[in-house]
Amino acid sequence: MNQRLLRLAIGTLIGLLIAAGIVWWQISSLPTGSSSGTQTGGALIGGPFSLTDQTGRPVTDADYRGRYMLIYFGFTFCPDVCPTELQVMASALDQLGRQADEVQPMFITIDPERDTPSQLAGYVSQFNPRMAGLTGTPEQIASVARAYRVYYAKAPSKENDGYYTMDHSSFVYFMSPDGRFLEAFAHGTTPDKMAQGIRAHIKS
């Protein structure tokens, strides 16, 4: 029985690694600064979305035009990766000084079942006062996740107690003021490197 569970765990891990690899290949196939509307020969990153922010206000991608967007997909019940990445984003923005005013940090949940606007409001405020927390219906979340080539899946507890976590890819996306994909920062990027990458795009 233990061997069966071990094989299942190994199979699940391999599946997640393959999915993450596909997402990374799709992102890395895009040249920096390519237009999400005209790029050919690679995966398109980004696109229109219709969601709800942490105040309960319906928003679309058009509401953020004119500002760079720094976007992370995760969930508030995430024990380690998500808070780590959001802290990296916050630290990178601190390093940018006044240039940070040109950037809209954004956390989009991949767990709309639990991440209500009020839940997001308390969560994102811990990292940056300007960070937007966005949620929506399962269909809306699936749509924006597809647009950004984000992998996510519910992982129920082995105890069948109703608790679950979320498996997901972990990239921070940097988008231009007109919605073009500029760069994706992989998990493990330091605040210094992220700030350096953002600053290079803002200067250009």
110 marked as binding residue: no
- The region that residue 163 occupies, defined by phi over 0 for left and psi between -120 and 50 for alpha, beta otherwise, is beta
Would you say 46 is a known binding-site residue?
no
Q: Which DSSP string do the residues of 72-126 spell out, in sequence order?
A: EEE-TT-SSHHHHHHHHHHHHHHHHGGGGGGEEEEEEES-TTT--HHHHHHHHTT
Phi and psi, residue 83, nearest 5° = -60, -35
Annotated binding-site residue? 82: yes
Asked if 135 and 141 count as a contact pair (C-beta separation under 8 A), the reply is: yes
Integer Cα distance of 111 and 99 in angstroms: 31
With beta carbons less than 8 A apart as the criterion, state whether 141 and 112 touch. yes
Task: Give the HSE-up count for residue 173: Cα atoms under 13 Å, Cβ half-sphere.
Answer: 31
Terminal-residue alpha carbon distance, the chain: 59
Residues marked as binding for Cu cation? 78, 82, 168
Residues marked as binding? 78, 82, 168
